[in-house]
């Protein structure tokens, strides 16, 4: 039959409308089951392609299996009459129909159940079997001569077969055949025309794309979830880690104090013992003098210790840079004089930071401690100034410096080149600084010295 131009236009327009409506629905979901339901509804809905029954089979290439995944439509004539008489009473627009396909419950279950029971081993099929050909040749087959005697389809689908016109076509992703779509005109036997075949082909392409997108989306979603889980696990670990490092810093400081106290203690003890054993008044006087001098050292050390409480409650306050630097400098005074280290401070009196005082002390303590340890003698310079919203603090020294290959590693936890070093100093400093939204920069030249600059919120 030759169509008029007007008829052709109307038909094409209708086809476009159908495809557009179904495509739009397919694009709206990444749920594989919904995509299949939408496709099957598009194939069978009265206002769409109007086929009788449609089913989707998935193809598992590795296992050489084809298995039923979803189906829609009546299992027998009685069901067909029930469905169509019900639907013909309602005039439902396709959009609502598709919406219902996703959200609504299916009352007729027998055909879908039968479809989902089907498992076909493709290796057992003869080459002329249409299920095998559709995968190998990747094209649509319109079968009009299938009968119980001349079956041509896998025996596993006999139970859902009704002699009628059958369409089978591949469901493909961009690379592979991922399944088979099968549809028929059983019970109503409306002829399947070329327009229907064309639309079925286009719809299967849309479905293939939608399925591939959904799978990719789901893979990415799963990976994202894994990453999220990993991230939260990392955060917990990091918190524990920081807690432990705080303890390590306490340990480091304790070790420093032990050393500072032990040296004069040993001297006092030794001379005191000698006094008890000596009868020479001159020796006794001299030794007692030494003891007094050593006791003065104790006083100095204890004076510093009492001015500093590491375990004070954590609270953000207005911290004076000058005062904190002074506390740190006092702490190292003995070390400075022992190594003849010259200390230069260049800080404007009115520089303040919003931070926890103890943490700022910890930052400066670590930086100065690193400088002291890196030098036999020389100069340590501490500068501080307000820059925009930040306070910029630099601790530089004329120590042995860091070999260029080690500079990127200095903030790695447990990285240390010092004997007995914990390798946590700069790691802790960086963590504290980053917690405040600040940053740290390290520059160094071997045998010339190191400068560490930190930026903290003003």
* Residue 248 is a binding residue for other proteins (CB under 8 A): no
Please, are residues 179 and 144 in contact by the beta-carbon 8 Å criterion?
no
Residues 138 to 197: which contact other proteins by CB under 8 A? none
Q: Which stretch binds other proteins (CB under 8 A): 141-149, 151-159, 263-271, 433-441?
A: 263-271
In 221-340 the beta strands, taken as DSSP E runs, fall at: 317-320
* Residue 338 is a binding residue for other proteins (CB under 8 A): yes
Cα–Cα distance measured from residue 139 to residue 149, given in angstroms and rounded to the nearest whole number: 24
Q: Are strands 177-184 and 53-60 parallel, antiparallel or unpaired?
A: antiparallel
* Residue 27 is a binding residue for other proteins (CB under 8 A): no
Give the one residue of 138, 293, 348, 439 binding other proteins; rule: CB under 8 A.
Answer: 293
Q: Which stretch binds other proteins (CB under 8 A): 68-76, 91-99, 167-175, 270-278?
A: 270-278
What is the H or E stretch that residue 80 is in?
helix 77-89
Write down the least CB distance from residue 417 to other proteins, Å: 12
Cα–Cα distance measured from residue 221 to residue 17, given in angstroms and rounded to the nearest whole number: 32
* Residue 315 is a binding residue for other proteins (CB under 8 A): no
Give the one residue of 10, 340, 354, 448 binding other proteins; rule: CB under 8 A.
Answer: 340
Q: Which stretch binds other proteins (CB under 8 A): 150-158, 307-315, 334-342, 347-355?
A: 334-342
- For 298-309, the DSSP string reads HHHHHHHHHT--
* Residue 130 is a binding residue for other proteins (CB under 8 A): no
Write down the least CB distance from residue 369 to other proteins, Å: 13
Strand partners of residue 66: 59, 120
Cα–Cα distance measured from residue 39 to residue 55, given in angstroms and rounded to the nearest whole number: 9
Residues 415 to 434: which contact other proteins by CB under 8 A? 419-420
Cα–Cα distance measured from residue 28 to residue 346, given in angstroms and rounded to the nearest whole number: 64
* Residue 377 is a binding residue for other proteins (CB under 8 A): yes
* Residue 282 is a binding residue for other proteins (CB under 8 A): no
Write down the least CB distance from residue 263 to other proteins, Å: 6
Write down the least CB distance from residue 254 to other proteins, Å: 11
Which residues lie below 8 Å from residue 65, measured CB to CB, with a gap of 6+? 59, 119, 120, 121, 122
Give the one residue of 149, 318, 376, 405 binding other proteins; rule: CB under 8 A.
Answer: 376
CB of 308 or CB of 422, closer to other proteins: 422
* Residue 269 is a binding residue for other proteins (CB under 8 A): yes
* Residue 12 is a binding residue for other proteins (CB under 8 A): no
Give the one residue of 57, 271, 365, 436 binding other proteins; rule: CB under 8 A.
Answer: 271
Please, are residues 451 and 430 in contact by the beta-carbon 8 Å criterion?
no
- Compute how many residues bind other proteins; rule: CB under 8 A: 25
Cα–Cα distance measured from residue 432 to residue 423, given in angstroms and rounded to the nearest whole number: 16
What is the H or E stretch that residue 431 is in?
helix 425-435
Cα–Cα distance measured from residue 288 to residue 298, given in angstroms and rounded to the nearest whole number: 15
* Residue 313 is a binding residue for other proteins (CB under 8 A): no
* Residue 262 is a binding residue for other proteins (CB under 8 A): yes
Give the one residue of 13, 223, 238, 255 binding other proteins; rule: CB under 8 A.
Answer: 255
Cα–Cα distance measured from residue 154 to residue 161, given in angstroms and rounded to the nearest whole number: 10
Q: Which stretch binds other proteins (CB under 8 A): 1-9, 115-123, 267-275, 343-351?
A: 267-275
* Residue 250 is a binding residue for other proteins (CB under 8 A): no
CB of 270 or CB of 408, closer to other proteins: 270
**Angle of the 194-277 helix axis to the 357-374 helix axis, nearest 10:** 70
Please provide the distance, in angstroms rounded to a whole number, between the alpha carbons at the two ends of the chain.
Answer: 85
Provide the 10 A C-beta neighbour count for residue 192.
22
* Residue 267 is a binding residue for other proteins (CB under 8 A): yes
* Residue 278 is a binding residue for other proteins (CB under 8 A): no
Strand partners of residue 346: 383
Residues within the interface to other proteins (CB under 8 A): 255, 258-259, 262-263, 265-274, 290, 293-294, 338-340, 376-377, 419-420
């Amino acid at each position: 039959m030759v169509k008029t131009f007007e008829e052709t236009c109307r038909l094409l327009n209708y086809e476009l409308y159908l495809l557009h409506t179904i495509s739009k629905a397919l694009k709206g979901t990444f749920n594989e089951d919904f995509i299949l339901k939408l496709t099957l509804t598009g194939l069978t809905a009265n206002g769409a392609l109007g086929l009788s029954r449609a089913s989707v089979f998935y193809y598992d290439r590795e296992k050489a299996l084809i298995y039923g995944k979803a189906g829609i439509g009546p299992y027998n004539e009685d069901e067909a009459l029930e469905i169509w008489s019900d639907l013909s009473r309602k005039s439902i627009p396709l959009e609502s129909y598709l919406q219902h396909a996703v959200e609504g419950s299916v009352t007729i279950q027998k055909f879908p159940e039968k479809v989902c029971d089907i498992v076909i081993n493709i290796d057992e099929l003869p080459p002329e079997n249409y299920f095998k050909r559709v995968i190998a040749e990747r094209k649509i087959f319109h079968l009009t001569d299938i009968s119980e005697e001349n079956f041509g389809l896998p025996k596993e689908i006999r139970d859902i077969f009704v002699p009628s016109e059958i369409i089978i076509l591949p469901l493909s992703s961009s690379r592979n055949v991922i399944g088979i779509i099968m549809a028929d005109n059983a019970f109503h036997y409306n002829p399947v025309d070329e327009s229907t075949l064309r639309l079925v082909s286009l719809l299967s392409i849309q479905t293939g794309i939608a399925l591939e997108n959904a799978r990719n989306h789901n893979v990415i979603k799963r990976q994202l979830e894994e990453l999220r889980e990993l991230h939260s696990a990392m955060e917990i670990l990091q918190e524990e880690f920081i807690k432990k490092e705080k303890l390590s810093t306490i340990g480091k400081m304790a070790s420093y104090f032990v050393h500072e106290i032990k040296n004069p203690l040993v001297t006092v003890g030794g001379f005191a013992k000698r006094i008890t054993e000596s009868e020479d008044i001159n020796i006794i006087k001299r030794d007692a003098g030494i003891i007094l001098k050593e006791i003065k050292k104790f006083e100095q050390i204890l004076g510093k210790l009492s001015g500093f409480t590491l375990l004070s409650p954590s609270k953000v306050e207005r911290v004076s840079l000058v005062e904190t630097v002074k506390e740190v400098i006092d702490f190292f005074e003995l070390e400075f004089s022992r190594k003849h280290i010259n200390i230069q401070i260049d800080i404007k009196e009115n520089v303040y930071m919003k931070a926890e005082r103890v943490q700022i002390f910890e930052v400066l303590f670590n930086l100065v401690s690193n400088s002291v340890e890196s030098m036999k003698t020389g100069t340590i310079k501490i500068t501080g100034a307000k820059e925009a919203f930040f306070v910029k603090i630099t601790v530089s020294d004329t120590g042995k410096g860091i070999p260029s290959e080690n500079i990127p590693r200095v903030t790695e936890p447990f990285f240390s080149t010092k004997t007995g070093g914990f390798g946590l100093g700069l790691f802790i400093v960086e963590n504290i600084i980053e917690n405040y939204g600040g940053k740290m920069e390290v520059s160094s030249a071997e045998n010339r010295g190191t400068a560490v600059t930190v930026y903290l919120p003003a």
